């Protein structure tokens, strides 16, 4: 349960970083260092999210529940 909460928080943080990056892009026209910092934060959060999802799938805390997955 904790893993799902962490994944949800990370996903929300990625979306927030995306909105922040768009704001800096519009305000500074992409010329300031804040846009690059926002991109670095977003990439780091995405890597952490990917690691958590892989960890959850390998430990069995997350399961695939798709209709085409053999049950």
Please report, for the chain, the start and end positions of each structural domain, with discontinuous segments joined by +.
Answer: 2-59
The whole model's pTM is what? 0.81
pLDDT tens across the length of the chain (71 residues): 899 999 999 999 999 999 998 888 888 886 778 888 888 999 999 999 999 999 999 998 888 887 886 75
DSSP for 3-54, written as a single string: HHHHHHHHHHHHHHHHHHHHHHHHHHTT-SHHHHHHHHHHHHHHHHHHHHHH
Tell me, what's the pLDDT at 71?
59
Cα separation, 59 vs 37, in Å, equals 33
Contacts of 60 (CB under 8 A, 6+ apart): none
pLDDT of 42 reads 93
């Amino acid at each position: 349960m904790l893993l799902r909460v962490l994944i949800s928080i990370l996903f929300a943080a990625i979306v927030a970083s995306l909105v922040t990056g768009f704001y800096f892009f519009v305000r500074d026209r992409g010329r300031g260092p804040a846009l690059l910092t926002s991109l670095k934060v977003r990439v780091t959060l995405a890597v952490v999210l990917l690691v958590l999802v892989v960890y959850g799938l390998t430990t069995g805390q997350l399961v695939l529940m798709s209709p085409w997955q053999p049950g």
